Every structure is written in C-alpha cells, then in structure tokens.
C-alpha cells in the first residue's frame, strides 16, 4: 500500500478512537463493580490488557520457544 | 414403529459409509438435509430405548439443549460438505460423515454406555480425517489417537464405577459425592482440550488437509462442552480450568507462526470461555455456553475455511511466508475478516450476542475478578485471532504470491457462513429462542455497544503499537506434550541403554532356570520318563497281584 494511504488510514483510525474515548462523556455506562464506572474504563483497560498479554507471552516465549525442527528426528 | 427407529445420528453414519461409492458429490449434500428432516420431525423426549440386562440403553433422547447442538452440527456439516466438494480424498469425507454422525449420536444419547460407544467411534474416525491430510499427518494422528484413547479409558473406568456404585447408567447431572464421576469428568475434559492435554488441538488439527481441519474444528470439543453442560453445570472447579484455557490459548497463539495453529490455539481459548460458563452454571451462563458453542462453530469454521482456501491456493500456512493477499484473494479476505470480527464479538456479529451472555452471568453472580479476567480475555481474543490472523495473512508485507480466490463451491460455503455470522448478530432473537432457558437479556444497549467498541478498538491500537514485538519467527512453542514427545523418549532410551541390559541378563537367567526345570520334569514325567510312560497290561496285572498279595499277608499277620 502507498504510504499516503497508510497515513490516511491511521488518521481515520485515531479519529474513531478519539470519538469512542470521549463518548463516555455522553453515554452513561453501568458500573457493576465500581471500577468499571471509571471514565473510559473499557478503552484504558483494553489497551493495557493487550500490552500486558503481549509482554507476558514474550516472557514465556523466552523459555519455551524452540526452532521449528525441534521435534524432528 | 419403523419411523421411530430412524436415528438422525446413526443414519448419518450409515450414509457416511456409502460415500466412497458415490460419484456425484452433490448427492452427499442431501445427507445432512435428510438427517435434519428426521430430527426436525421428532418431538422432544425419549424415543429409542433398549433393555440391556438390569440397565436401560437410551439411544435417542431429545431435549432443547441436544436439539440445539445437533442442529448446529448438521448445519456446519452441510456447509463444510459444500466447501469440500473438490476434495478428492474420499476417505476423508466418508470418515468425516461417520465422525459427525457419531457426534450427533453422543449428543442425543441418554445413557453413559451409548455415549461411550459413539465417543470412541468419534476418536477413531476423526483420526482417519487427520491421516487423510498428508504423509506428515501420520505422527500427529498417532499422538492424537493416543490422547483420545487414554481419555476414553479414563471415561470407561468412570462409567463402570459410576454404574456399579449408583446402579444407574442414565446420563444427567453427575453426583459430586461419587469418586467415579470425577473419572468421567476427566475423560470429558481431555476431549475439551483442558490442561495438561490442550496440545492435541494445535498439534493434530493443522496437520489435516485444507478441508479436514474445518471438519475437525467443530465436533470433538463441542460435544465435550455439551456433556459438561449436562453432567457438570455449576462445578466451580471448571471456572479455573476454563480460565487457564482462555489465557493459554491467547498466549500460545500470540507466539505462533502457522495460521492454522493460531486458529487451533484459539479453539482452546474459546472452549475455555464455554467451560467457565458451565462452571458458573446459572441459567444465563448455560445459555451463554450453549449459544457461544453455536456461534463459535460457525465463525471458527469460517476462519478455517478462509485459512484453508489460502493453504489450498498457495500451499503455504506460515505467517512469515504469507502477506499481501488482499489484492489477489479479496473474497477470502472479506470472509476471513467477518469471521475474525465475529470471534472478537464485534457488535452486529454473532460473537457479540453470545459471549455477552457469559460475561453478563459474572455480573449477576457478582464475580468481580472473573469479570475482569473475561474482559481482559475479550481484548486478548481480538489481539490473537481478530487482528493477527487477517493482518499477517492478507496484509503486512507483500509476499508477491501468485494467487486467486478459490473455486466456486469454496467461495459459496464461506459466503454462506459469513451471512450467518451477521444475521445471527443482527437478529439475536432467533438464536435466543432455541436456547435451553428463556432469555431476558438485551445485548444491544448503547452502554454495552460503546463499552465493547472501546475495548476492541483500543486493543487494535495496542496491536499496531506493539507490531514489532509481534513479528513472527520460525519457531514453535513447547507445551505439556514435551513430556511425552521429548522427556518420555529420553527416559525410554536411557532405559534401553542402562536398565534394559541388566533386566535382560536377569530375564535370561530366569529363563535358563525355567528351561532346566522343564527339562528335568520332562525326563522323569515325560512320555518316556519313569513316572510318565504308559505301562503294559501284563505289568499292571503283575503289580496288582503283588500288591494284593502283600495286602493279604499284612491282613493275616495283623
């Protein structure tokens, strides 16, 4: 893809993210457990969860990753 | 009488055995339709019963839950039969039909013996589906079969013990006080892909053919979910098992390079969600588990069809070899993305209206930690399956592969399932009406839609920010199966070189001793031995006379 197309895609993606993030000002979300009533909780929690999961798998990968032919006789 | 003997599962098994004789593959498509008509015409209740000594075998018993699972099995068999019309390997198609027929028979069985018999037929026929893949499928197939025969043996121990101690074979909620119900549970969990045996899924499924993997993805794990719902709803232990499977699936899929293995890890992840719901065990949770099984079967088959098409056309399965296919395989890409959005539970797709039930169940039960874990996992699903699969296969770099969309029948099957994913998502009422319990839950609220979109889109942001850490490498990841694929082999070879020699000399000396004993026995008691040979009549008479004479003398003098 052209660099300019990629740039446009990024801009529209960030625009959507901003709308969703600030939609919390208008939409009253239920809070069942207290913590989830926090401003833009799903955005923040989703983002941090993914970073956490990627780094956990990276850490596990250090110990458990092997070359593809590991099991070949 | 004859009409009541028609069994939707067994008839499919019978049809399956005839497939090698059928030339026109379109005829094969009629089989699931016939089975569907039979099932549809039957009322709920116990229909076929056999007396077997003190026990009663219930071959066919239908309720809302078993009907739901049978319908989705038939639907996906139909779609996959269309997808695989151009699969020339008839043993694969034939065994796949027997496999699906026995899965339906498991779901429709009312007692543990009938369940066990069809359970084992599933294990054998699914192994044949795997072996139909290629020469490389042989060892994964053997490992797959070994795990399932082990599971089957544990299940059989449980069933026999349970029947002996409780006096009943009926399959319903299993008594938590009976030790044998835990053997049955272990047998079921092995088929669900629970630890430490999760690795059979990513090991065996991707080694089947481009169509075989689609057949395999739907049935074994989901019959396991069905029997867990019936036998073990509300067993809290299952929540922990499910959580482990959810995060195992995500983490291993993030590290994986092969697209079909990524999707296999994702099966473990999704079944984990269902098992958590079974562990919660409330009405809404059971609705969650069964509707999630229903929608998951569709979108996972769709994802594997998309991956299967890429494999069929390009012959490649590794993310490191793929990329840029959006230009040459646009329809495969669109259908793959619809599957990916569904598995991620995007609003307006089937995943959104099914997974929400399970998440909502944790809210009703006020399980805060579990809610946080499931929400984190929902973000993780988007990360490992929702974006990772389409991104690495259809976008990333341009791998400059010559390709085009697959043949008509494969395209049609993908379009059919894509349409179902969206229709179920847009009109949730249809699926909700066939769930085992009444549904009062409303998935489409502004609140819920906005929360879900925030969660998913910001997970997407995290994916692209972390892209350089997610770059695939030519590696595999060790799993529990290391213990029997590597460690076990090492132990056996050590045994061979050191212990076996000593054992061998010992056995040899025992053998010698034995031979000598036998020889001496033979010498004295054999046919020509002093004690064993036959005597002539004259000799016998003489000796008898001598004995009688001695006896007379003894009598006279005593």
Q: Which of residues 8-67 of A touch B (CB under 8 A)?
A: 13, 16-17, 20-21, 23-24, 27-30, 32-33, 35-36, 40-47, 49-58, 60-61, 64-67
The Cβ of residue B58 has, within 10 Å, a number of other Cβ atoms equal to 22
With a CB cutoff of 8 Å and minimum separation 6, the contacts of A2 are: none
Cα–chain center distance at B215: 11
pLDDT more than 70, % of chain B: 99
The yes-or-no verdict on residue A1 having pLDDT over 80 is no
At residue B4, the pLDDT reads: 56
Token duo for residue B273: 């969600």
| Angle ∠(B109,B114,B115) on CA atoms, nearest 5 | 65
At residue B526, the pLDDT reads: 79
Question: How many beta-carbon pairs below 8 A join chains A and B?
Answer: 137
pLDDT digits (tens, 9 = 90+) for B118-162: 999 999 999 999 999 998 999 999 999 999 999 999 999 999 999
Using DSSP's 3-state secondary structure scheme, residue B365 falls into: coil
Written in H, E and C, the secondary structure of chain A is CCHHHHHHHHHHHHHHHHHHHHHHHCCCCCCCCCHHHCCCHHHHHHHHHHHHHHHHHHHHHHHHEEEHHHHCC
Instruction: Give the separation between CA B548 and CA B349, rounded to whole angstroms.
Output: 104
CB contact under 8 A, B447 and A13: no
Using DSSP's 3-state secondary structure scheme, residue B325 falls into: coil
Cα–chain center distance at A72: 36
Mean pLDDT of B398-413: 92
Mean pLDDT of chain A: 88
Interfacial residues of B (vs A; Cβ cutoff 8 Å) = 247, 250-252, 254-255, 257, 363, 366, 368, 371-372, 375-376, 379-380, 383, 446-447, 450-463, 466, 469-470, 473-479, 485-486
CB contact under 8 A, A16 and B457: yes
Sketch the domain layout of chain A as residue ranges.
3-66
Residue with more model confidence, B29 or B468: B29
Instruction: Give the separation between CA B486 and CA B484, rounded to whole angstroms.
Output: 6
The yes-or-no verdict on residue A46 having pLDDT over 90 is yes
DSSP string, B256-319: --BHHHHHHHHHHHHHHHHHHHHHH-SHHHHHHHHHHHHHHHHHHHHHHHHHHHHHHHH---BG
pLDDT digits (tens, 9 = 90+) for B478-507: 988 888 888 888 888 887 777 777 888 888
B5 confidence band (pLDDT: 50, 70, 90): low
Token duo for residue B440: 């009062």
At residue B1, the pLDDT reads: 39
B422 forms beta bridges with none
The answer to whether residues B265 and B384 touch, using CB atoms and an 8 Å cutoff, is yes
Token duo for residue A32: 């069942």
pLDDT more than 90, % of chain B: 77
DSSP string, B241-254: HHHHHHHHHHHHHH
pLDDT digits (tens, 9 = 90+) for B358-369: 999 999 999 999
Q: Give the closest of B379, B451, B475 to A66, CB-based.
A: B475
B2 confidence band (pLDDT: 50, 70, 90): very low
Q: State the Rg of chain A over Cα.
A: 20
The yes-or-no verdict on residue B395 having pLDDT over 70 is yes
The Cβ of residue A9 has, within 10 Å, a number of other Cβ atoms equal to 11
Residue recorded with tokens 């893809």: A1
With a CB cutoff of 8 Å and minimum separation 6, the contacts of B430 are: B423, B424
Mean pLDDT of B200-214: 95
pLDDT digits (tens, 9 = 90+) for B269-314: 999 999 999 999 999 999 999 999 999 999 999 999 999 999 999 9
Q: Which of A14-23, B162-171, B411-420 has the highest mean pLDDT?
A: B411-420
Cα–chain center distance at B447: 37
Question: Per mean pLDDT, which range of B240-249, B332-341, B379-388 is the poorest?
Answer: B379-388
* CA torsion through residues B413, B417, B422, B423, sign: positive
CB contact under 8 A, A42 and B446: no
Residue A6 touches partner B, C-beta closer than 8 Å: no
Instruction: Give the separation between CA B278 and CA B285, rounded to whole angstroms.
Output: 7
Instruction: Give the separation between CA B306 and CA A71, rounded to whole angstroms.
Output: 28
Mean pLDDT of chain B: 92
The answer to whether residues A23 and B450 touch, using CB atoms and an 8 Å cutoff, is yes
- Nearest-neighbour CA in chain A from B256: distance (Å): 10
Residue recorded with tokens 């069985």: B109
> Is the bond into B196 cis (omega within 30 degrees of 0)?
yes
The yes-or-no verdict on residue B317 having pLDDT over 80 is yes
Residue recorded with tokens 């795997």: B130
- Nearest-neighbour CA in chain A from B466: distance (Å): 8
B56 forms beta bridges with B51
Instruction: Give the separation between CA B429 and CA B56, rounded to whole angstroms.
Output: 38
Residue of A53, A69, A73 to mutate when probing chain B, most B C-beta within 10 A: A53
Nearest CA in chain A to B448: A29
At residue B535, the pLDDT reads: 72
Sketch the domain layout of chain B as residue ranges.
1-200+228-232, 238-485
At residue B493, the pLDDT reads: 84
Here the ipTM equals: 0.93
């Amino acid at each position: 893809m052209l660099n300019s197309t990629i740039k446009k895609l990024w801009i529209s993606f960030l625009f959507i993210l901003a709308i969703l993030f600030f939609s919390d000002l208008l939409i009253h979300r239920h809070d069942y457990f207290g913590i989830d009533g926090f401003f833009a909780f799903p955005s923040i929690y989703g983002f941090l969860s993914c970073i956490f999961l990627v780094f956990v798998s990276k850490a596990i990968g250090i110990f458990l990753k092997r070359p593809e032919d590991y099991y070949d006789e | 009488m004859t009409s009541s003997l028609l069994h939707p599962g067994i008839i499919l098994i019978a049809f399956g055995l005839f497939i090698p004789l059928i030339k026109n593959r379109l005829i094969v498509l009629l089989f699931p339709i016939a089975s569907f008509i039979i099932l549809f015409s039957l009322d709920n209740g116990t229909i076929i019963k056999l007396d077997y000594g003190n026990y009663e075998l219930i071959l066919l018993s239908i309720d809302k839950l078993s009907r739901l699972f049978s319908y989705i099995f038939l639907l996906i068999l139909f779609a996959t039969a269309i997808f695989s019309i151009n699969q020339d390997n008839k043993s694969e198609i034939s065994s796949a039909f027997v496999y699906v027929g026995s899965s339906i028979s498991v779901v429709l069985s009312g007692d543990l013996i009938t369940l066990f018999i069809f359970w084992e037929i599933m294990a054998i026929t699914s192994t044949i589906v795997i072996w139909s893949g290629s020469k490389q499928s042989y060892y994964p197939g053997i490992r797959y079969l070994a795990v399932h025969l082990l599971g089957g043996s544990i299940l059989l121990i449980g069933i026999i013990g349970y029947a002996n101690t409780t006096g009943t074979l009926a399959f319903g909620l299993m008594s938590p006080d009976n030790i044998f119900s835990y053997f049955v549970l272990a047998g079921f969990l092995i088929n669900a892909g629970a630890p430490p045996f999760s690795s059979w899924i990513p090991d065996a499924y991707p080694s089947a053919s481009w169509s075989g993997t689609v057949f395999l993805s739907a049935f074994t794990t989901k019959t396991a979910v069905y029997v867990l719902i019936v036998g073990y709803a509300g067993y809290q232990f299952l929540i922990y098992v499910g959580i482990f499977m959810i995060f195992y699936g995500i983490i291993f899929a993030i590290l994986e390079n092969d697209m079909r293995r990524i999707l296999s890890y994702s099966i473990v992840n999704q079944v984990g969600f269902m098992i958590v719901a079974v562990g919660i065990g409330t009405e809404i949770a059971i609705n969650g588990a069964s509707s999630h099984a229903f929608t998951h079967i569709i979108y996972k088959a769709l994802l594997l069809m998309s991956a299967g098409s890429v494999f069929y056309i390009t012959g490649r399965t590794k993310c490191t070899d793929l990329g840029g296919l959006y230009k040459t395989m646009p329809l495969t890409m669109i259908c793959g993305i619809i599957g990916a959005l569904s598995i991620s539970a995007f609003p307006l797709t089937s995943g959104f209206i099914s997974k929400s039930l399970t998440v909502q169940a944790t809210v009703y039960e006020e399980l805060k930690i579990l809610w946080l874990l499931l929400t984190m996992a929902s973000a993780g699903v988007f990360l490992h399956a929702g974006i990772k699969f389409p991104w690495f296969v259809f976008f990333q770099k341009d791998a400059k592969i010559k390709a085009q969309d697959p043949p008509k029948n494969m395209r049609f099957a993908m379009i059919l399932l894509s349409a179902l994913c969206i229709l179920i998502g847009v009109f949730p009422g249809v699926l909700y009406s066939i769930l085992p319990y009444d549904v009062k839950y409303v998935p489409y609220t502004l609140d819920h839609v906005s929360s879900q979109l925030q969660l998913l889109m910001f997970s997407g942001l995290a994916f692209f920010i972390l892209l350089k850490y997610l770059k695939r490498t030519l590696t595999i990841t060790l799993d529990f199966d290391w213990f029997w694929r590597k460690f076990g082999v090492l132990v056996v070879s050590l045994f061979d070189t050191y212990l076996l020699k000593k054992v061998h000399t010992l056995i040899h000396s025992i053998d010698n001793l034995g031979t000598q004993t036998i020889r001496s026995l033979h010498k004295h008691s054999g046919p020509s031995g002093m004690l064993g040979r036959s005597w002539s009549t004259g000799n016998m008479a003489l000796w008898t006379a001598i004995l009688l004479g001695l006896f007379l003398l003894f009598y006279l003098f005593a």
